[in-house]
Amino acid sequence: MEPRRVLMTGACGTIATVLRPALRAGLEELRLSDLRAPESLVAPETSALADLTDFDAVQRAVDGVDAVIHLGAVSTEAAFEVIAGPNLHGAYHVFEACRRANVRRIVYASSTHASGMYPVGVPLDGSQRPRPDGLYGASKVYGEALGSMYADRFGLSVVCLRIGAFQAKPRELRELSTWLSHADAIRLVRAALTADDVRFAIVYGASANTRRWWPPDRSVGFVPEDDAEVHADGLDGEDYPWQAGAHAARDHGGWAT
């Protein structure tokens, strides 16, 4: 499919800032939504302010687009009351607004924290049961489950991206396995937006890393090109038994005291 009008939530965030210049090329409209207006709009970009906890605002942002890239969320581990609004209510509002507006494709930004309690090296492809490493990861599992339900019950086309370590370059040894380069993130989202004949898919978002744990994607045609190994010299870090690394620690996030 080739969407012409695309909404991107969380438009002021780190990932969206990287995606914007590449994705707006060739679109009739790239509608950017966040709590505040993004700076320096470039045609065909437009702005649609929306708090994800406000369903009516989300519906207004969604109306009239062909596809939604849902990036908006609390993106780190936090207490439940912090995560619940944007990540739980917000995810429902986006999927329900898309159903009512007959949106053709939803690209949902999930996270590898949805499966962070798997041991290091286990080759995950999204078919295994979720094993989130915290409340943030569990909220992403909830979003994936919503996407699965909306695909099965209402016929929406949903691609869930379990995004790895999205950085300009890896910062520690663990990220030599989980790194997603900026260029490969663009390739990933483009593939998720345009793949044909997808009802529901979970895709691991990581570059073509020599030490990558996860098999190549067979759902949307994502073909990464970068390899974290070129940044390996000088990296250090602790050895952890879980794919989430330090995020799997009992005290991570401060809420489980």
pLDDT tens by residue, 72-130: 999 999 999 999 999 999 999 999 999 999 999 999 999 999 999 999 999 999 999 99
Residues forming beta bridges with residue 106, ordered by sequence position: 68, 158
Cis bond upstream, residue 132 (ω within 30): no
Burial class of 146 by CB neighbour count within 10 A (0 to 12, 13 to 18, 19+) = buried
pLDDT confidence of residue 237: 81
- For this structure, is 92 an active site residue? no
Task: Judge whether 90 and 143 are in contact, CB under 8 Å.
Answer: no
Report d(CA 253, CA 188) in Å as an integer: 29
pLDDT digits over 140-152, tens only? Answer: 999 999 999 999 9
pLDDT confidence of residue 257: 78
> Catalytic pick from 108, 118, 136, 150?
136
pLDDT confidence of residue 236: 85
Residues forming beta bridges with residue 136, ordered by sequence position: none
Report d(CA 39, CA 213) in Å as an integer: 37
Fold designation for 5-248 = Rossmann fold (3.40.50)
Q: Output Rg (C-alpha) for the chain, integer angstroms.
A: 17
Residues forming beta bridges with residue 110, ordered by sequence position: 162
pLDDT confidence of residue 81: 97
Report d(CA 222, CA 190) in Å as an integer: 8
- SS3 sequence, 57-117? HHHHHHCCCCEEEECCCCCCCCCHHHHHHHHHHHHHHHHHHHHHHCCCEEEEEEEHHHHCC
* Residue 199 CB neighbour total at 10 angstroms: 12
pTM confidence score: 0.97
- Residue 157, SS3? strand
User: What mean pLDDT, rounded, does the chain reach?
Assistant: 97
Q: Is the dihedral angle over the CA atoms 14, 60, 24, 88 positive or is it negative?
A: positive
Which helix or strand (DSSP H or E) is residue 9 part of? strand 5-9
**Integer CA distances (angstroms), 231 to 8, 209, 215, in order:** 31, 11, 21
pLDDT digits over 59-77, tens only? Answer: 999 999 999 999 999 999 9
Report d(CA 223, CA 140) in Å as an integer: 24
Checking if the pLDDT of 238 tops 90, the result is: no
